A and B are shown apart, each in its own frame.
Chain A
């Protein structure tokens, strides 16, 4: 058995599938590809697959990572080709690496880069650097254990307005991600609404660019 890390994209067509649906969809694709999946032992064997940082429903990405075991040795190219022929539109394997030892450990991941498209209610101008000068950005943050007020400023590593045309704004951001602290772009937008005068959001969409370990892109 060999372990592989797959880098994949989740596009518009499949952005609404939940993490659970994704896992089911993916294991069916592996079945279709006839790559010999490795199953867990026990009553109810299921394929062994781990996703680095499951995406929220509605979010697209071009930098997702998953670990999976196959019975046998396959070249990255063969895995890419066979899986892509079996996946539904919108899911695409971008890269494959054999994972040996601890070097590809998902626990090293501590941040993520996003592109966020925002439609504002009113066409206002604002200065993102002024926003970042706040020492404290306290907002209600959702987590597994419930909601609580939290200062999210230390977890915003960078933000930049890439484009602004009328009410439409595109902002790139690098935020803490992973098991230690996970900050979602949704929460940052809440903070912007609270701290920037007149900043009111009609609708937004999130796209994840990549996951990083420190300054280094994971894969």
Chain B
């Protein structure tokens, strides 16, 4: 009998169940009996990582294969990292507790730019060389996917290859090729990369050369390998109804952010809000059938034991079978005392009735996202919601017994003036007015309005990809102005710090030269940048300086349509011509109809599926 280092470490850290695995429905295999040991990494802490739907799908897809063991690897929280570094313990996988240093494939999912420093830190903790060029035959292949991979360039020096788009099929294809490579005695890493470069959706950054102009913009971007495609097109599951969905999910011991069954009802979004990357990169919209969803819910609930189920999509109200689906789910949930949650619902008579059925007595807060204060600016961003819509909806809510309203806005949007900012306060004031106009005995008690603003960050693959981000001074000025314009005590104002948005903006539209910055930042201890308590803005600024890189070049600069963008070699289906068209319409505050009203010819119909062919 003796104690292991891990025993001793775990007794000293917060929430040790973040590191022990063994949860219900986690997969157990004998690692000696597989060909491929796969580390699926989410560069954030357990509770965040386990709330993510994509990881659950891919984990089970890979583990369906007999020749592969996919394990989960998350970023150890800082207390754990300290213990690990002190005792020379390397990053390990949750299922077996084995170090991932010599696994076959290490895959990261990139959900937000502020997790990049964690990617580098996790590689360092795993004792895997940070740079692609430093890895040998004995090191794993490091790959990445997820929404941020659509601009892969900041990680081009670090990640061996990227997978563009939905991972359900491509992840199997690259694993198949890996097994061949291994069975042929491995050898040069390049041999494997050359082979997978042929697969649709695979991007191998080292197979491309970049030249820069004197003004630091990109001069040329050229393949240097015969197998490297000039344009890499994302993958999608054309028939989403048929796409694999796990029937059992891992149930964590400790509480996570989304501690419930999540039912993905459709992918994509018909709306086309011009600031929203998700609205474009997931096109076209593809739905699952009601029967498919109902039978999936039954299986997921009984295999997990969860007492709550939530619909998951970018906009619940746009699901065409919503009434049918919720009727069926309500029957199921009421019988089994299961909670049903319906995020991102548009407020109308139908949804109000629905919420009344679901929420019974409790009346929690309702969220609206007008995103901008004036109709003009809402037209610029193509947020098709009018003041009248909002005021009608809150009237219904207040009469229906709700008194807790949250209003979400963005500041720093293109063409925004101080007038637009102040209009946010006026809109909140009007919402309050609606409340007071309702006779006392017909409205809910204790009105509570919360206005929240986040700072707009221009993203690749949106009509605003050429725009300059507001300076921090400007954003702070706008926050102040808004705060001053809110006079009622019934309205609370929350804003998000603009410093993190600044860094997010740099990496969102960054190029290859930022790789050095990331590597330097990890050495200086940057990690968990998405967490306010860890984010160190001054440190980042000094690192940019040391690396001789001006971050303003990436986020504060307005670009010409003719400029070669770092992500131009990636094709998400939606064309650059469409984005230019949309950008011009935005300048004129002209809206675009949604996919179901009228196809705008965005280009995503090349995938031959979904809403484009309904």
Contacts and interface: CB of A to CB of B under 8 A. Distances in A.
Contact of A31 (B8, B10, B305): B305
Given A32-B303, A86-B305, A205 B3 contact: yes
Interface stretch (B14-22, B63-71, B444-452): B14-22
B305 A16 contact: no
A88 interface: yes
A28 B11 contact: no
Interface residues of B, number: 27
Nearest to A21: B253
Contacts of B8: 203
Contacts of B11: 58, 203
Contacts of B24: 25, 28-29, 88
B217 interface: no
B251 A28 contact: yes
A168 B305 contact: no
Contacts of B304: 28, 32
Contacts, number: 72
A31 to B, nearest CB: 4
Interface in A33-84: 34, 39, 43, 45, 57-58
Contacts of A29: 24, 305
B253 A25 contact: yes
A39 B22 CA distance: 28
Contacts of B32: none
B1 interface: yes
Could you tell me the dominant secondary structure of chain A's interface residues?
mixed
A29 B8 CA distance: 30
A214 interface: no
A88 B250 CA distance: 11
A31 B306 CA distance: 8
A120 B194 CA distance: 56
B22 A14 contact: yes
B305 A117 contact: no
A13 B22 contact: yes
B1 A117 contact: yes
Nearest to A44: B362
Nearest to A16: B16
A43 B16 CA distance: 33
Nearest to B10: A16
A182 interface: no
A43 B362 contact: yes
B307 A205 contact: no
Contacts of A34: 302
Contacts of A88: 22-24, 251, 253
Interface in B302-357: 302-307, 336-337
A21 B22 contact: no
A110 interface: no
A16 B1 contact: no
A57 B17 CA distance: 10
Contacts of B22: 13-14, 88-90
A168 to B, nearest CB: 6
Interface in A108-152: 117, 119
A168 B337 CA distance: 50
B2 A16 contact: no
A159 to B, nearest CB: 18
B215 interface: no
B1 A32 contact: no
A88 B253 CA distance: 10
A16 B3 contact: no
Contacts of B361: 43
B305 A32 contact: yes
A7 to B, nearest CB: 21
A203 B7 contact: yes
B7 A14 contact: no
Contacts of B307: 27-28, 31
Contacts of B303: 32
Interface string A87-100: 01110000000000
B254 interface: yes
A18 interface: yes
B64 to A, nearest CB: 21
Among B3, B253, B337: residue with most chain A CB under 10 A: B253
Contacts of B251: 25, 28, 88
B253 A17 contact: yes
Among A28, A34, A43: residue with most chain B CB under 10 A: A28
Contacts of A168: 1-2
Given A13-B20, A14-B253, A16-B20, A39 B337 contact: yes
B20 to A, nearest CB: 6
B351 to A, nearest CB: 23
Nearest to B28: A89
Interface in B167-215: none
A90 B21 CA distance: 12
Among A21, A34, A39: residue with most chain B CB under 10 A: A21
Interface string A8-29: 0000011011100100110111
A90 B20 CA distance: 12
A28 B11 CA distance: 26
Interface of B: 1-3, 7-8, 10-11, 16-17, 20, 22-24, 251, 253-255, 302-307, 336-337, 361-362
5 contacts: A18-B254, A25-B251, A28-B306, A32-B303, A90-B22
Interface of A: 13-14, 16-18, 21, 24-25, 27-32, 34, 39, 43, 45, 57-58, 86, 88-90, 117, 119, 165, 168, 170, 203, 205
Given A16-B17, A119-B3, A168-B1, 17 more contacts: A13-B22, A16-B10, A21-B17, A21-B254, A25-B253, A27-B305, A27-B307, A28-B251, A28-B304, A28-B305, A29-B305, A34-B302, A43-B362, A57-B16, A88-B251, A119-B2, A205-B3
List 3 tightest A-B contacts by C-beta distance, closest first. A28-B305, A16-B16, A31-B305
